Copies of this chain bind each other. A is one copy, B any other.
């Protein structure tokens, strides 16, 4: 289906305690035709300039190299009237996204994936893994830590969206299917926040999987694509000391939210 027009925004307020080198990943990526957007950084009310950098998956990162102490605000707004073209396989994606990464420790989970999903491949594998994580891992805010990887989630069986996504990815990679994390704006998500979902490469497409089922996939808008949450965090402090004081995310569609049966295969658009 053609996704409806989407309107997304985010607002961050960060206390910079000592001069900081910061990276933000809040802007929509993916070449949406007709995209109109605004991204404004202000330090103590005064507008400052960020440097935009593209990562190897063409996510847009915004960097503030020497942010003086003070109150930093980040205001992003975008109108997304049209879907983005389907993501393609680039460079060494197949290799990169099949390897283990910090929070998707597929090498540790290899035996476990083989136990649970023996003999499955392709669409069946994607369905089975997503379904397994959906039914076995309880969504429970506050139950996980930012240092937790997929093995931890496998053992504890609780987590938030990033944890479920990491476990799906780790299982898929362990069974040789390229898989990656995507941070998205997700109209319909309750409570509204940044969301984390999975893209798995099979049969010529990056299939969009969401074990949480908390928002319709057809209206999600891509922000950042990477190996795991280490690559896609909406804010990274490379140097200095900061404290996130406020975060507000909004995402909605024109008209009704699309229906998601949670079983059919979709791509992010």
Contact = CB atoms under 8 A, between A and B. Distances in A.
B230 A99 contact: yes
Interface stretch (A8-16, A71-79, A103-111, A243-251): A103-111
Interface string A216-236: 000000000000001100001
Interface in A94-116: 94-96, 98-102, 105, 107-108, 111-112
A82 interface: no
A95 B236 contact: yes
A36 interface: no
A61 interface: yes
Interface in A114-152: 142, 145-147, 151
A142 to B, nearest CB: 7
A99 B236 contact: yes
B142 A95 contact: no
Contacts of A146: 107
A88 interface: no
Interface stretch (A48-56, A187-195, A258-266): A48-56
18 contacts: A21-B176, A54-B91, A55-B95, A61-B92, A61-B95, A95-B236, A100-B230, A101-B102, A101-B230, A102-B105, A102-B107, A107-B146, A108-B147, A111-B155, A111-B157, A145-B156, A147-B155, A176-B239
